[in-house]
Amino acid sequence: MDLPSSRSARQAIKPSWLERLTAFLLREPEDREELVELLHSAFERHLLDADALAMIEGVLQVGDLQVRDVMIPRSQMDVISINETPETFIPFVIETAHSRFPVCDGSKDNILGILLAKDLLRYYAGQSFDLRDMLRPALFIPESKRLNVLLKEFRANRNHMAIVVDEYGGVAGLVTIEDVVEQIVGDIEDEYDFDDTEDNIIQDRQGRWRVKAITPVADFNAVLGAAYSDTDVDTVGGLVVGEFGRVPKRGDAVSFGGYHFQVLRADSRRIYSLLVERELVATVDAT
């Protein structure tokens, strides 16, 4: 019978997973490809679990990615005009459910600052509210900035959003700290995300469909009356990836089989949700 002290001694001697991994990686890899191979070998030997491997690979990739690779494009930016009244833009804030909104004066190229949704509590509390006074300074960054550098700046300055500008000074899009962190830990979902709902297919007020990428092709066909084959792929996301020939980025769009697919949410590994609408078929008058 082992004494408690002897069991404690053996537990203290037993190496942690980090120590075992360090011992496994003692031979220094010559380049990044060899390092990745070693990490995958460590995973196969059960020194790393799948989540840890994915995060380490994400950290390695962040140094190679630029802001343009993950930003929300200009056309997809939800902005508020400085000339709007709270009665006008608050329904928009509620509908989109973002926590931060760029505020512009006329064109999206003229961003005045960032409005935090929580600052609207002053309006509901009956306090004096002037949109211009509520604005926080906007952080402007170039498209070419590396994600690892941006993440460091976000942490140092406590910013959560940056406006991305092109080489001519025009606004190209925006990027949030969540967009950067998702490249490391995978997609981050919150209480407002469509992916949290039980239904895989939801129709909006414009007659379009918001579709989870994991939706089976057969279910998609049944709801939308489509005729896509599920011989080679099982999910709608698989159909779209196959059409692109790569994992598309958020905002990418493609049309095939009578439907138009736009990527709503994706990371470097997979698609999460899509906006789908039927393509309009032009009719020719034979008379």
Q: Do 129 and 206 fall within a single domain?
A: no
Structure confidence at residue 246 (pLDDT): 86
260-279 pLDDT, tens digit per residue, is: 999 887 766 778 889 999 98
Q: Are residues 134 and 109 in the same domain?
A: yes
Residues 146 and 63: beta-carbon distance below 8 Å: yes
Predicted TM-score of the model (pTM): 0.56
pLDDT of residue 194: 52
Reported as a pLDDT band with limits 50, 70 and 90, residue 69 is confident
Element (H, E) at 17: helix 17-24
80 and 120 both lie in a single domain? yes
Percent of the chain at pLDDT above 90? 35
Q: Which residue, 185, 211, 245, sits at the end of a domain?
A: 185
Q: Same structural domain for residues 22 and 93?
A: no
Please check whether residues 154 and 76 belong to one and the same domain.
yes
pLDDT of residue 62: 76
Sorting pLDDT into bands at 50, 70 and 90, what band is 28?
A: low
Poorest-pLDDT segment among 43-52, 205-214, 261-270: 43-52
Domain end, chosen from 147, 167, 185, is at 185
Domain limits at 119?
68-185
| Count of domains forming the chain | 3
pLDDT at 23: 57
Query: Which CATH number belongs to the domain containing residue 240 in this structure?
Result: 3.30.465.10
Q: Where are the extended beta strands (E) located within the chain?
A: 72-73, 80-81, 100-104, 111-116, 140-142, 161-165, 171-176, 201-203, 209-212, 253-256, 259-266, 271-278
Structure tokens at 209: 């469909």
Query: How does the average pLDDT of the chain come out, rounded?
Result: 81
Instruction: State whether 94 and 140 are in the same domain.
Output: yes
Lowest pLDDT segment from 36-40, 83-87, 153-157, 250-254: 36-40
Distant-in-sequence contacts of 202-208, Cβ < 8 A, 24+ apart: 206/277, 207/277, 208/275, 208/276, 208/277
Q: Is the pLDDT of residue 239 over 80?
A: yes
73 and 120, same domain (yes or no):
yes
Considering the domain architecture, whether residues 26 and 127 belong to the same structural domain is answered as no
Query: Is the pLDDT at 6 greater than 60, yes or no?
Result: no
Query: What was the pLDDT predicted at 142?
Result: 95
The residue among 185, 208, 240 that closes a domain is 185
pLDDT tens per residue across span 182-206: 777 765 554 345 544 457 898 877 7
CA distance 28 to 32: 11
Tell the residue number behind the tokens 């995978």, with chain if given: 186
Residues 84 and 175 in one domain: yes
> For residue 60, is it within any domain?
no
Give the tens place of pLDDT for each residue, 78-117.
999 999 998 899 988 888 878 899 999 989 999 999 999 9
Kindly state whether residue 174 falls inside one of the protein's structural domains.
yes
Looking at the fold, whether 231 and 207 belong to one and the same domain comes out as yes
The answer on pLDDT for 9 being more than 60 is: no
pLDDT at position 192 is: 41
Residue 54 domain-assigned? no
pLDDT beyond 90 at 129 = no
pLDDT number for residue 241: 92
